[in-house]
């Protein structure tokens, strides 16, 4: 099928031009909330990197620097009762969906008071019973899991809920991703899948990852709606993803959003990302979404310079204070750990805990 | 009227659907068609919208079941053959099995695996996968050997809050019959002494229970009294019943249709050696399938898997040790 021939591949915001500031669905209130959350994510992640360098965080640190606009645009359009399965670079989306600076730090620093209690760490966190899925590392796996949550809601006759997940360009090559997308399409689920095409999967460039040229063309193959967003442009992301979420909520079936951007850090904090060519970093793709968003908010007079500095100061203070608190919290105690992977019911029935 | 093992599976699912609105069934060709083996025959008609055909996407099938379980549903997944569950392995062992430990959210789902060999099944429609799944913490693995057990244990599997791998044996589907279905069942995870004896213990499960019983019958002609223990559920494993049996007989043979490496038979022997070494009058033995893929031709297949006569031979050797 030639590019663009699909009847369901609807919107290319680039084709429509980028003159969307302050128009359409993006309200001052949403833009302010989104920006404030991006700021939280950026400042929190800078602190995470510092804590990692000083040896306070063990394991990996995977940051979303440069991808906050896209990530937050999904998070702010979801609401309680929706299902959200964020991935590696979604600190901003997570905070927008209701995760907290406190639980992020507890999970990274291994506090026993965090939602994962030291049993899992870093980005592998969530509260599945509240619709906030805890990703497993295996890329693509969360697509069908979100399908399942939506099927459950359909069984219960709950309408109006949306399920959403994110993935990178590399993750779209997994069989799991294809199976999940196809399943969502077959079941016509109210689902939004956002692909952050940051041009590299760890070190692998896109020309070694897929041969279809444009990931958006995949939407036609699945028989679902595809939309394109400018990944480092907050207003564009808010608009495109807002439309995608609204369409899914309105019963129009799965929505694939593909956004081009760059990650402005390594894959993890051990990676210097030297494989990303300087020319690409200096191209429009390499512009920092936080700078673009700040300009957009100021231009629209949705925020003042004074407000911005007070937000920055407030977020910094909150992060510092929370780090101090979490560092004093107890680590998990191996002697107290419940070394049993069965649930309470299974364990009581099995009697294995007597050993 | 007699009820087959397969019909008992169908009836258990019918009852689960009727009694619990959270139950739904998801798998390939299981809707109007009723499944490759007809284990869901007429259920789609009886329970509209709750017996759903799935695409050939084992990974996503299990993923969907996990997501639904997290939201409070009780999905039953039918794999068309146990062998194809490897395409859903990642979701089973990395997401379903880890979910409760990681997040505290239970993951109540059942994956039905039409398991084990039948004549002509060949390498990809014959596998026994209980050892593979039992390896992973967080999964319950059931291996019912009787019509009564397959019925009560499937209902038990649906009621459990943990993910259950339900290994139902295809060779038993049509062979085994019962007059009526039980209301009562042994407690979860309990093994059964199917045949009491004093000279040696055979621990078996699933189709191998019947080979063991036939072997025990054969040896009774020679005056030996063989005890047969049916594990019923291989994980959690009922070590107490096994040890109590070995305490009575002093000799142990474990029979499994699965391959020997790191399998259920090896696990049973490891436990008895570690916890009941002093009870043994002879080295514990195991009899597994041969260490090749499951062959297609009935003549090869019949020698690949343990049978009543190979179990009887192993028992004779054990009794002479
Ligand atoms: C199935 C699977 N294989 C390999 C990995 C290891 N891995 C983690 S992140 C990553 C790169 C992912 O790239 P992409 O999906 O483009 O996301 P990005 O890191 O660029 O945000 C790889 C290979 C994994 N997590 N899952």
Q: Which residues line ligand 1 (CB under 6 A)?
A: A 88-89, 137-139, 167-171, 174, 196, 198, 200-202, 267
CB B27 within 8 A of CB B54: yes
Residue in A with minimal Cα distance to B65: A148
Is B277 contained in some domain? yes
pLDDT band at B134 (very low <50, low <70, confident <90, very high): very high
Quote the domain boundaries for residue B296.
192-320
pLDDT band at B190 (very low <50, low <70, confident <90, very high): very high
Nearest atom in ligand 1 to A140's CA: 1
Q: Which residues contact B321 (CB under 8 A, 6 or more apart)?
A: B251, B282, B283
In angstroms, the separation between the Cα of residue A44 and the nearest Cα of chain B is 23
CB B4 within 8 A of CB B173: yes
Mean pLDDT, residues A138-163: 97
CB A144 within 8 A of CB A135: no
pLDDT at position A347: 53
Nearest atom in ligand 1 to A138's CA: 26
Q: Which of A120, A142, A200, A202 to mutate to test the pocket of ligand 1 (most atoms within 8 A of CB)?
A: A202
In angstroms, the separation between the Cα of residue A323 and the nearest Cα of chain B is 23
Is B287 contained in some domain? yes
Give the tens place of pLDDT for each residue, A39-61: 999 999 999 999 999 999 999 99
| CA B309 from centre of chain | 22
Q: Is B302's pLDDT higher than 70? A: yes
Please, what is the end-to-end C-alpha distance for chain B in angstroms?
46
Give the tens place of pLDDT for each residue, B108-130: 999 999 999 999 999 999 999 99
B170 and B251 part of one domain: no
- The domain boundary, picked from B112, B143, B178, lies at B178
Quote the ligand 1 centre to B268 CA distance (angstroms): 39
Q: Which residues contact A191 (CB under 8 A, 6 or more apart)?
A: A146, A147, A150, A162, A163, A164, A165, A184, A248, A253, A254, A255
Q: Is A83's pLDDT higher than 90? A: yes
All structural domains of chain A, each given as residue ranges with its CATH number in brackets, are 2-27+67-99+129-300 (3.40.50.970)
Give the tens place of pLDDT for each residue, A321-338: 999 999 999 999 999 999
B9 and B41 part of one domain: yes
Report the alpha-carbon distance of residue A121 to residue A43 in Å, rounded. 19
Alpha helices in chain B (DSSP H): 5-19, 43-46, 58-70, 89-90, 97-103, 130-134, 147-159, 172-175, 208-220, 239-249, 264-276, 298-304, 308-320
User: Is residue A201 within a helix (H) or strand (E), and if so which, with residue range?
Assistant: strand A200-201
pLDDT at position B11: 98
Q: Looking at per-residue confidence, does B13 or A6 come out higher?
A: B13
- Closest partner residue to B60 (CB to CB) among A120, A183, A352 is A183
Q: Which of A207, A267, A280 to mutate to test the pocket of ligand 1 (most atoms within 8 A of CB)?
A: A267
Is B185 contained in some domain? no
Note whether A343 contacts B100, CB cutoff 8 Å.
yes
DSSP assignments along A86-99, one per residue: --TT-HHHHHHHT-
Give the tens place of pLDDT for each residue, A217-253: 999 999 999 999 999 999 999 999 999 999 999 999 9
CB A260 within 8 A of CB A199: yes
Q: Is B82's pLDDT higher than 90? A: yes
Alpha-carbon separation of residue B173 from A64, B75, B123, B207, B234 (angstroms): 53, 22, 19, 10, 20
Quote the ligand 1 centre to B235 CA distance (angstroms): 33
Report the alpha-carbon distance of residue B274 to residue B260 in Å, rounded. 19
CB A322 within 8 A of CB A102: yes
Report the alpha-carbon distance of residue A251 to residue A266 in Å, rounded. 38
Q: Is A351's pLDDT higher than 50? A: no
Is B147 contained in some domain? yes
Q: Is A13's pLDDT higher than 80? A: no
Residue B295's CATH number: 3.40.50.920
Q: Is A111's pLDDT higher than 50? A: yes
Neighbours of B101 (CB within 10 A): 18
pLDDT at position A344: 62
Residue B168's CATH number: 3.40.50.970
Is B184 contained in some domain? no
Task: Provide the 3-class DSSP secondary structure of residue B149.
Answer: helix
Note whether B67 contacts A144, CB cutoff 8 Å.
yes
Q: How many domains does chain B have?
A: 2
| CA A125 from centre of chain | 12
Quote the ligand 1 centre to A177 CA distance (angstroms): 12
B8 and B139 part of one domain: yes
Provide the token pair at A326: 């979490």
Residue in B with minimal Cα distance to A181: B60
pLDDT at position A25: 74
pTM, 2 dp? 0.94
B254 and B136 part of one domain: no
Alpha-carbon separation of residue B189 from A301, A348, B204, B233, B235 (angstroms): 67, 11, 14, 5, 7
Quote the ligand 1 centre to A62 CA distance (angstroms): 11
Q: Is B167's pLDDT higher than 60? A: yes
B165 and B16 part of one domain: yes
B259 and B113 part of one domain: no
Task: Tell me which chain A residues have a C-beta less than 8 angstroms from the C-beta of B68.
Answer: 148-149, 151-152, 155
Report the alpha-carbon distance of residue B256 to residue B266 in Å, rounded. 10
Range in A8-12, A169-173, A221-225 with the lowest mean pLDDT: A8-12
Share of residues in chain A with pLDDT > 90 (%): 89
Quote the ligand 1 centre to A88 CA distance (angstroms): 9
Give the tens place of pLDDT for each residue, B269-281: 999 999 999 999 9
Task: Tell me which chain B residues have a C-beta less than 8 angstroms from the C-beta of A119.
Answer: 101-102
Q: Is A319's pLDDT higher than 80? A: yes
In angstroms, the separation between the Cα of residue B233 and the nearest Cα of chain A is 10
B27 and B151 part of one domain: yes
Neighbours of A106 (CB within 10 A): 23
Task: Provide the 3-class DSSP secondary structure of residue B4.
Answer: strand
Give the tens place of pLDDT for each residue, A190-223: 999 999 999 999 999 999 999 999 999 999 999 9
Which residues 290-349 of chain A have a CB within 8 Å of chain B? 340-346, 349
Which residues 94-123 of chain A have a CB within 8 Å of chain B? 115-116, 119-120
The question of whether B125 is a catalytic residue gets the answer: yes
pLDDT at position A240: 97
Task: Tell me which chain A residues have a C-beta less than 8 angstroms from the C-beta of B101.
Answer: 119, 340-341
The DSSP code for B223 is T
B168 and B301 part of one domain: no
DSSP assignments along A258-327, one per residue: EEE---SS-SSTT---TTS-HHHHHSGGGS-HHHHHHHHHHHTTSS-HHHHHHHHHHHHHHHHHHHHHHH
């Amino acid at each position: 099928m030639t590019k663009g021939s699909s009847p369901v591949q609807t919107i290319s915001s680039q084709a429509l031009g980028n003159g969307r500031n302050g128009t359409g669905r993006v309200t001052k209130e949403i833009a302010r909330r989104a920006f404030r959350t991006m700021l939280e994510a950026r400042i929190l992640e800078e602190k995470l990197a510092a804590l990692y360098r000083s040896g306070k965080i063990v394991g990996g640190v995977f940051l979303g620097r440069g991808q906050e606009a896209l990530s937050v645009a999904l998070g702010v359009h979801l609401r309680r009762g929706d299902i959200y399965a964020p991935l590696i670079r979604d600190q901003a989306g997570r905070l927008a969906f209701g995760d907290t600076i406190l639980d992020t730090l507890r999970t990274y620093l291994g506090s026993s008071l965090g939602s994962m209690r030291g049993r899992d760490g870093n980005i592998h966190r969530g509260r599945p019973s509240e619709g906030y899925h805890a990703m497993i590392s295996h890329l693509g796996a969360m697509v069908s899991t979100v399908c399942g949550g939506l099927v459950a809601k359909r069984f219960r006759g709950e309408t109006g809920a949306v399920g959403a997940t994110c993935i990178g360009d590399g993750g779209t090559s997994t069989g799991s991703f294809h199976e999940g997308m196809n399943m969502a399409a077959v079941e016509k689920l109210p689902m939004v899948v956002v692909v952050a095409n940051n041009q590299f999967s760890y070190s692998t460039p896109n020309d070694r990852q897929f041969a279809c040229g444009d990931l958006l063309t995949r939407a036609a193959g699945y028989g679902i709606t595809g939309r394109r967003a400018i990944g480092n442009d907050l207003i564009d992301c808010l608009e495109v993803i807002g439309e995608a979420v609204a369409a899914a909520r309105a019963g129009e079936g799965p929505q694939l959003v593909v956004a081009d951007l760059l990650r402005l850090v390594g894959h993890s904090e051990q990676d210097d990302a030297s494989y990303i060519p300087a020319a690409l970093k200096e191209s429009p793709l390499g512009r920092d979404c936080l700078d673009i968003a700040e300009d957009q908010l100021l231009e629209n007079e949705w925020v003042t310079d004074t407000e911005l500095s007070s937000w920055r100061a407030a977020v910094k203070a909150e992060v510092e204070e929370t780090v101090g608190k979490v560092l004093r919290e107890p680590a998990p105690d191996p002697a107290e750990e419940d070394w049993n992977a069965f649930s309470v019911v299974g364990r009581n029935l099995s009697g294995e805990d007597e050993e | 009227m007699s009820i087959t093992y397969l019909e008992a599976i169908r009836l258990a699912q019918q009852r689960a659907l009727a009694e619990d609105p959270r139950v739904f069934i998801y798998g390939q060709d299981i809707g109007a068609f009723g499944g490759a083996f007809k284990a869901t025959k007429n259920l789609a008609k009886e329970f509209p919208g709750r017996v759903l055909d799935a695409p050939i996407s084992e990974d996503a099938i299990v993923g969907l079941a996990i997501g639904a379980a997290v939201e409070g549903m009780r999905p039953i997944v039918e794999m068309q053959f146990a062998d194809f569950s490897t395409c859903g392995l990642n979701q089973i062992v990395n997401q379903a099995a880890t979910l409760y430990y990681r997040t505290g959210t239970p993951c109540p789902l059942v994956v039905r695996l039409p398991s084990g060999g039948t004549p002509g099944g060949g390498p990809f429609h014959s596998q026994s996968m209980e050892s593979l799944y039992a390896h992973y913490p967080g999964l319950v693995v059931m291996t019912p050997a009787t019509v009564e057990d397959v019925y009560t244990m499937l209902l038990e599997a649906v009621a459990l809050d943990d993910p259950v791998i339900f290994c139902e044996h295809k060779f038993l589907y049509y062979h085994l019959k019962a007059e009526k279905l039980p209301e009562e069942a042994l407690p979860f995870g309990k093994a059964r002494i199917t045949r009491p004896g004093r000279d040696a213990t055979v621990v078996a499960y699933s189709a191998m229970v019947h080979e063991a019983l036939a072997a025990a019958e054969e040896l009774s002609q020679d005056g030996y009294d063989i005890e047969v223990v049916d594990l019923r559920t291989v994980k959690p494993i009922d070590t107490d019943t096994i040890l109590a049996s070995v305490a009575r007989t002093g000799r142990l043979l474990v029979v499994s249709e699965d391959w020997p490496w790191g399998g259920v038979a090896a696990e049973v022997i490891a436990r008895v050696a570690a916890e009941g070494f002093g009870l043994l009058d002879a080295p514990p033995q195991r009899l597994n399938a041969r260490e090749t893929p499951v062959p297609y031709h009935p003549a090869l297949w019949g020698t690949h898997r343990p049978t009543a006569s190979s179990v009887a031979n192993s028992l004779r050797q054990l009794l002479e040790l």
